[in-house]
Amino acid sequence: MKTLLLILTIIISETIMPQNYDFEQNLYQSYDRYKENSLTHRRFKHADIIPLIDKLKHKSGFTVKDVGKSVEGRELKLISIGHGKKKIFMWSQMHGDEPTATAALFDIFNFINDSANKEFCKVFFDRVTLYFLPMVNPDGAERFRRRNFYDIDLNRDASRLQCPEAVILKSVFDSLKADFGFNLHDQSHRYSVGNSFRTATISFLAPAFNYEKDINDIRGNAVKLIGNMYQSLSQFIPGHIAKYSDEYEPRAFGDNFQKWGTSTILIESGGWKDDPEKQFIRKINFIALLSAFKSIAEESYLNTSNDIYESIPFNDKYIFDMLLRNLTVKEGKKQIKVDIGINLDEYEGPNEKNIYYKSTVDDLGDLSTFYAYNDYDFEGYTIERASVYDDKVYSLKKLEELDFNKLYSKGYSTILVKELPDEKFTRLPINLALKNRIDTTINIGEPANFILKKDGKIEYVVINGFLQKVEKNRKFEGNGLIIR
């Protein structure tokens, strides 16, 4: 039954023609005109968006109001425009490391300010008033981490209201009594659409307001609107739209806002291949929100069947960053076949725009039901642990002169140095260590460093989860580890 629903959903998503087709197609084609070019990566800070908000104070129709401060004193600003009866409230970056929709909100401001859209906006704002609360967790954004200064998850503080940011969000909500609310988040790029190879680029949810997951008129309007948004986005990311877990969470803002009378939609921005900074997904957010605003203004969502929402598959975790299939492991005379799933986690360097990765062997064995962004079949290859080169201990100055390809061809993933840099990572295409006490066993939870042989010859090495073909003049992509 689950498989049938997934097939039907993909068929629907690839064939349906949404009502707002021309509007959304125009948004897609003209997006670069509206993109806020000062926000080009995910690690922007509160200080980067405040000048953009201040500019809105001088734009026709916009109102900017100070509504409070974070634990560390960063101001939260409520931006509004319009005079229509229908109120739409959206808040972003409640989790500090989930900035995709925050950037999209500033793209929307540019759309509103563009003279080409003057007539559309005039009619639109006669019907609708928009309220924006971008970057609810600026202290978390400063450190690019999920939680706030107190290390509290703001989305689990809707009942106790222990943090000032949570108090501000609840206070703004109470003052507006909005008809619709948009809770804007990011989710892991490793989520899939059900058990499939398709990444969950966008996941929607009409949060439950009780454990029974009942659907009343308030939640029902969110369900219908998501159906509309699903149709709209399926033009651009067919098969890459999922539904987030609908278990009731009494501590979460979305669930409570739904219970308190605002039709609430959760949007989770996931993954898209070759989009590590989520700039394409940001564009999809831009389209999704403007399309939803138009649907609310026209009340076209009321004609949407709940069946569309119900048919959307739940997201799941079936995707690795890299999957190496059908490798042979030799243990004495015995041979076994394994697949290895590898994930890469991001870390910020001294310069916040300088990103490094640390690999982990996440799983191994029969992974035939899983998928990956980078998926390789190594039938006929054997896998062996890499070695540490300890014949010589190098000075840091001599590292750039090394023939790394020669080291790879002999099975080395790590070299010894006389002293270690202060950093945790190196841009060099090999790992650095101070002492020869390094375990290179291929185990779950350990960094991915090993060699791949065919017919007894080393053809590939994996250095900190980055696959390298052993050949001269091949450019290294990725980074090594500094092992202390």
Residue 257, Cα to own-chain centre: how many angstroms? 24
Give me the pLDDT at residue 397, please: 87
CB 193 within 8 A of CB 202: no
- Predicted local confidence at residue 44, as pLDDT: 96
pLDDT given for residue 481 in this prediction: 95
- DSSP string over 385-414: E-EEEEEEEE-GGGGGG--HHHHHHTTEEE
Look at residue 3 in the predicted model and tell me its pLDDT.
46
Classify domain 2-316 by CATH architecture.
3-Layer(aba) Sandwich (3.40)
Would you give per-residue pLDDT tens digits along the chain (484 residues)?
Answer: 444 444 444 444 443 334 567 999 999 999 999 999 999 999 999 999 999 999 999 999 999 999 999 999 999 999 999 999 999 999 999 999 999 999 999 999 999 999 999 999 999 999 999 999 999 999 999 999 999 999 999 999 999 999 999 999 999 999 999 999 999 999 999 999 999 999 999 999 999 999 999 999 999 999 999 999 999 999 999 999 999 999 999 999 999 999 999 999 999 999 999 999 999 999 999 999 999 999 999 999 999 999 999 999 999 999 999 999 999 999 888 999 999 999 999 998 877 668 999 999 999 999 999 999 999 999 999 999 999 998 899 998 889 889 999 999 999 999 999 998 888 899 999 999 987 767 777 899 999 999 999 999 999 999 999 999 999 888 888 999 999 8
CB atoms within 10 A of CB 419: 10
**Domain ranges across the chain:** 2-316, 320-483
Number of CB atoms found within 10 A of residue 455's CB? 8
The CATH homologous superfamily for domain 320-483 is: Urease, subunit C, domain 1 (2.30.40.10)
Q: What is the pLDDT of residue 7?
A: 44
Count the neighbouring beta carbons within 10 Å of the beta carbon of residue 471: 11
Beta-strand relationship, 382-385 and 450-454? antiparallel
User: Which residues, 6+ apart, have CB-to-CB distance to 193 below 8 Å?
Assistant: 6, 199, 200, 239, 240, 241, 242, 313, 315, 316
**Amino acid identity, residue 377?**
D
> What is the rounded distance in angstroms from the CA atom of residue 407 to the CA atom of residue 244?
46
Domains 2-316 and 320-483 share a fold: no
Phi first, then psi, for residue 418 (nearest 5°) are -75, -30
pLDDT of residue 13: 42
